[in-house]
Structure 1
Amino acid sequence: MADQNPQAGDTGPPKGIPALKAHVVANKVDVALWGIRLLTVLCTIGYILPLFNNPVSAFYKALLGNAATSALRLHQRIPAREISLSRDFVVRFFMEDSAHYLLYSLIFMNVAPNLLILTPICLFALLHAASYSLTILDTLGSNSMWMARLLISLVEFQSRNILRAAALAEIVLFPLVVIMALTGYCSLLTPFVYYYFLTWRYVSRRNPYTRNTFRELRVLAERTAERPAMPAPLKSALLTGVRLVCNMAPPMEEVRQQ
């Protein structure tokens, strides 16, 4: 009878190009998400350093990449058989982070290009693409592309800071959008739609970083206002701004229900 036990040198499933092809066939949507996220990062770089492309074209391609990623994630999170016109479905739809960022791309599709607009989607794309790149490299072999593994490790090590930076960009973008609307660089409706985007990010179940960053900024503003050397008019302006933003925030009962 032939020996059925694995040989001593057999340490697991096969690696290399055949294994990668099998992985792609078995995980088409995840691989597509990975590829689109990489393209989103490359288009953002192409907007910053327009060496091989029109920067305006690169800007809108990055937004389209984010929209495609968000749509695919929504397809994974909410299968087509569950789609309906019920109120419960609409509520569930807008609780998904992917729905928020699908709306994000639609908001800025007719807005004058600005690097801050691409910052959140590029950071998210970089973080998720780096994470899945490890899966791809593991499929090719444990020792493949050690330099790429090192860069991916650096990105993952900074994941918390990347998420905080993305949240800060989302928040800072709101006053910029208001200024852009007043100066004719976007529609007057854009700030109102973006406000709803921010409220959805504030109550996000999966990503608390926007909510936490709002809290950190409020504490920073209040501490700055209480400094003895702070002029009274500036102190009053800071505290008024804090109250205004707090009044615009969703009720805490809504946050707890998410």
Structure 2
Amino acid sequence: MADQGSQGGDTGPPKGIPALKAHVAANKVDVALWGIRVLTVLFTIGYVLPIINNPVSAFYKALLANAATSALRLHQRIPARDISLSREFLARFFLEDSAHYLFYSLIFMNVTPNLLILVPIFLFAMLHAASYSLTLLDTLGQNSMWVARLLISLVEFQSRNILRVAALAEIVVFPLVALMALFGYCGLLTPFVYYYFVTWRYASRRNPYTRNMFRELRVAAERQAARPALPAALRSTILAGVRLVERMAPPLEAVHQ
């Protein structure tokens, strides 16, 4: 009876360093993704606070880390046997959020560094790294590193707001890139290329936050335009801007295919 009671008290698999090693061995790609995302966060911090690295170097390293993360995620989502140059494959490829952000890194590899460009990849890396950090901590035991768990819980609690800010940054980068092109901080074609990135984010199946943020911005702009005290010229400018963005948006049928 005592043996049965002790067996009944065994509530799960063993915890600790051996369990962590076993988890890493069994989930090499996921752990690699976690590590690269942590590097993305650190490189972004290194760009803002250049204590160790040159800030310009940290900027491009953050983009490279994001590209590596995106490539690994694409490897998980699209098996190598499915890769081809067919129209069907390319359509499937650009439906993947990871393809969007691989493209994002490539767009900005030859521009003058700007913090706003790093904001979306920093926020996504922080959010996903925090989530998987909790998985790693669980292998060590439920009571391990409670301070780290508290910080991770705060990040996850704010996950919706983090995704909204990332979506807003994706949108705001568009006019930023246009200004950068005008003043010679990036190529003249960069805004046109970035436009395709924004349309892919707008049509994303897995992440509706960019589409929702466009809707929120339109509602806010129309509310401001409806204010009686607003000068007519400014009202016309706001409404013209709203109509321009609506014309540039991909058709709804493309979003819901």
Q: TM-score range by the shorter chain?
A: over 0.9
Aligned equivalents of 1:5 and 1:12: distance in 2? 15
* Paired amino acid for 2:226: E
2:75 matched residue in structure 1? 75
- Give 1:95-174 correspondences, 5 Å limit: 95-174=95-174
Aligned equivalents of 1:234 and 1:9: distance in 2? 71
1:216 matched residue in structure 2? 216
Q: Does 1:184 align with 2:184?
A: yes
TM-score of the aligned structures, taking structure 2 as reference length: 0.97
Aligned equivalents of 1:237 and 1:94: distance in 2? 34
1:225 matched residue in structure 2? 225
- Give 1:244-255 correspondences, 5 Å limit: 244-255=244-255
Q: RMSD over aligned Cα, in angstroms?
A: 1.1
Aligned residue for 1:113, secondary structure, equals coil
Aligned equivalents of 1:67 and 1:4: distance in 2? 53
Q: Deviations over 1:34-85 (max 9, x none)?
A: 0000010010000001111100010000000100000000000001011111
Task: Give the percent of matched residue pairs that are identical in Structure 1 and Structure 2.
Answer: 82
Deviation >4 Å, runs of 4+: 3-6
2:39 matched residue in structure 1? 39
Q: Deviations over 1:111-143 (max 9, x none)?
A: 000000000000000000000000000001110
**Shift of residue 16, structure 1, vs aligned partner:** 0.6
Aligned equivalents of 1:35 and 1:93: distance in 2? 24
Aligned residue for 1:95, secondary structure, equals coil
**Shift of residue 10, structure 1, vs aligned partner:** 2.1
* Paired amino acid for 2:110: N
**Shift of residue 4, structure 1, vs aligned partner:** 8.3
Aligned equivalents of 1:211 and 1:13: distance in 2? 43
Aligned equivalents of 1:21 and 1:167: distance in 2? 36
* Paired amino acid for 1:253: E
